C-alpha cells in the first residue's frame, strides 16, 4: 500500500513536548497556488513573530504586486532577482547568471542566517534548467540549522529535491480562467 489512509495514525508518532522541526517544503505542479500557498505560510508565520525572508527568482520589472505592498506594510523582506530582469529575457546567459547570483544570496541566508523561515520563490526553474546543481541545493538544505523552515516553489521540481523535502504538494490544474475563458489576471487574486 503506497498511500496512507488518513484515518490511520502515522507509523512513527513523536510524543512529548512540541519540538520545532525545520521543514523543507516544496510547492510544485501545473496548477495555480504555489506562490500564494507560500505567502499564506508567511502570513501565518508572521503572526507567530517569525523572522522571515523571501527571495524571488522571477521578477517582472518594477513589480509592485499585492504581495510586495503587503510585505512592505508588514516589514517582511522580499528580495527580487537582480534589476530589470524579466522572465521574457532574450539573454538567457544573463538570466542564468542572475539566478546563480540569487542562489548565492539564498545559500548564505540558509547556512548563516537567523531566519525562522526562508522562501525561494520560483527557484525550481534554476535547477530544472541546470543553472544551479540540485546536489548543491540538497547539500545546502541538509547543512542548515535544524529549526529553519525553507519553502521552494515552482514547476518541474527535480526528483532529488522532492526526495530531500519533508512536505511536497503538487498543485493540479483542473480549470484556469485564462486557459478556459481567456480571462486575464485579476488584481488582488494573481498580482
Residues forming contacts to ligand ATP in the complex (CB under 6 A) are 30, 32-36, 122, 153, 155, 171, 173, 176, 178-179, 185, 190
Can you tell me the distance from the alpha carbon of 76 to that of 14, in angstroms, rounded to the nearest whole number? 32
| Min separation Cβ 122 and Mg ion, Å | 5
Cell of 2: 503506497
CB 81 within 8 A of CB 52: no
Query: Which of the listed partners (Mg ion, ligand ATP, none) does 33 bind, with a CB threshold of 5 to 8 Å by partner kind?
Result: ligand ATP
Compare residues 97 and 156 and give the one whose CB is closer to ligand ATP. Answer: 156
DSSP letters along 144-181, please?
Answer: S-TT-EEEEE-SS--HHHHHH-SEEEEEPPS--HHHHH
Binding mask 9-48 for Mg ion (x = CB under 5 A): -------------------------xx-------------
Cell of 69: 505592498
Compare residues 116 and 121 and give the one whose CB is closer to Mg ion. Answer: 121
Can you tell me the distance from the alpha carbon of 45 to that of 49, in angstroms, rounded to the nearest whole number? 7
| Min separation Cβ 39 and ligand ATP, Å | 8
Amino acid at each position: 500500500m503506497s498511500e496512507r489512509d488518513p484515518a490511520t495514525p502515522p507509523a512513527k508518532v513523536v510524543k512529548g513536548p512540541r519540538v520545532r522541526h525545520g521543514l523543507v517544503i516544496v510547492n510544485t505542479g501545473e496548477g495555480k497556488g504555489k506562490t500564494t500557498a507560500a505567502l499564506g505560510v508567511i502570513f501565518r508565520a508572521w503572526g507567530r513573530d517569525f523572522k522571515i525572508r523571501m527571495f524571488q527568482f522571477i521578477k517582472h520589472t518594477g513589480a509592485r504586486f499585492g504581495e510586495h505592498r503587503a510585505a512592505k506594510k508588514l516589514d517582511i523582506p522580499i528580495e527580487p532577482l537582480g534589476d530589470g530582469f524579466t522572465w521574457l529575457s532574450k539573454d538567457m546567459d544573463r538570466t542564468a547568471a542572475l539566478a546563480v547570483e540569487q542562489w548565492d544570496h539564498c545559500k548564505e541566508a540558509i547556512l548563516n542566517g537567523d531566519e525562522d523561515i526562508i522562501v525561494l520563490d520560483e527557484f525550481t526553474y534554476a535547477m530544472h534548467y541546470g543553472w544551479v546543481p540540485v546536489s548543491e541545493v540538497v547539500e545546502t538544505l541538509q547543512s542548515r540549522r535544524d529549526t529553519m523552515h525553507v519553502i521552494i516553489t515552482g514547476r518541474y521540481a527535480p526528483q532529488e529535491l522532492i526526495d530531500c523535502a519533508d512536505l511536497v504538494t503538487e498543485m493540479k490544474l483542473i480549470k484556469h480562467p485564462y486557459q478556459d475563458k481567456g480571462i486575464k489576471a485579476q488584481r488582488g487574486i494573481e498580482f
